[in-house]
Structure 1
Amino acid sequence: MIKTIIFDFGDVFINLDKEGAIETTKATLNLQEFPEEMLSVNCLYEQGLISTEEFKDFYFQNFKNISEETLKDTWNYILKDFPEHKLDFLKQLAKDGNYLLILLSNTNELHIDWVKENISVFEDFKKQFDKFYLSHEIQLRKPDTEIYEFVLRENNLKPEECLFVDDLKENTDAAKSLGIHVWNIDPKTEDVCTLFATHKHLF
Structure 2
Amino acid sequence: MFDICCEAFSSSCLLLPSFEQRLASEKIPLGKFPLQTGNLPMNRCLLFSDKQEILDEAKRMGYGTFGVGTSLKADYCADSLEDESVYRPLFTSWSDKTEGCTLFIFDMGNVVIKNIHMLKKVARKWHLNEKEFIEDYQSYNSPMMDGFISTSDYWGHVKHKFGITVEGEPFAQEFTPVFNEEMVALLKRLSKEGKRVVCGSNTFAPHWEIIERMGALALFDKAYASHEMGVSKPARQFFEYILEKEGCKASKAYFIDDYEENIESASKLGIKCLLYVDGYAKSASEKLNEVFGS
Structure 2 residue aligned with 1:11, among 83, 87, 110? 110
Residues 49/103 of structure 1: CA separation in 2 closer, same or farther (3 Å cut) = same
**Residue matched to 1:145:** 236
**Residue matched to 2:199:** 103
Q: Deviations over 1:132-190 (max 9, x none)?
A: 10011111100011101111122221111111000000110110111111111116932
Counterpart CA distance in 2 for 1:17 and 1:156 is: 31
**Residue matched to 1:92:** 189
**Residue matched to 2:137:** 38
Structure 2 residue aligned with 1:173, among 264, 276, 294? 264
Largest Rg, 1 or 2: 2
Give SS of 1:12's match. coil
Structure 1 residue aligned with 2:249, among 143, 158, 161? 158
Relative contact order (C-alpha < 8 Å, sep 6+): which is higher?
A: 1
Higher-helix-fraction structure: 1
TM-score norm. by structure 1 comes to 0.79
Counterpart CA distance in 2 for 1:116 and 1:127 is: 8
Question: Given residue 100 of structure 1, which amino acid in structure 2 is its aligned partner?
Answer: R
Taking every aligned residue pair, what percent have the same amino acid on both sides? 28
Residues 35/15 of structure 1: CA separation in 2 closer, same or farther (3 Å cut) = closer
Give SS of 1:163's match. strand
Residues 8/2 of structure 1: CA separation in 2 closer, same or farther (3 Å cut) = same
Aligned positions of 1:109-124 closer than 5 A: 109-116=205-212, 119=214, 122=215
TM-score norm. by structure 2 comes to 0.56
**Deviation (angstroms), 1:81:** 1.3
Give SS of 1:88's match. helix
Question: Given residue 190 of structure 2, which amino acid in structure 1 is its aligned partner?
Answer: L
Compute the RMSD of aligned alpha carbons: 2.8
Number of corresponding residues:
189
Unpaired segments of 5 or more residues in structure 1?
none
Counterpart CA distance in 2 for 1:130 and 1:88 is: 15
Unpaired segments of 5 or more residues in structure 2?
1-99
**Deviation (angstroms), 1:127:** 2.9
Give SS of 1:133's match. strand
Counterpart CA distance in 1 for 2:270 and 2:182 is: 31
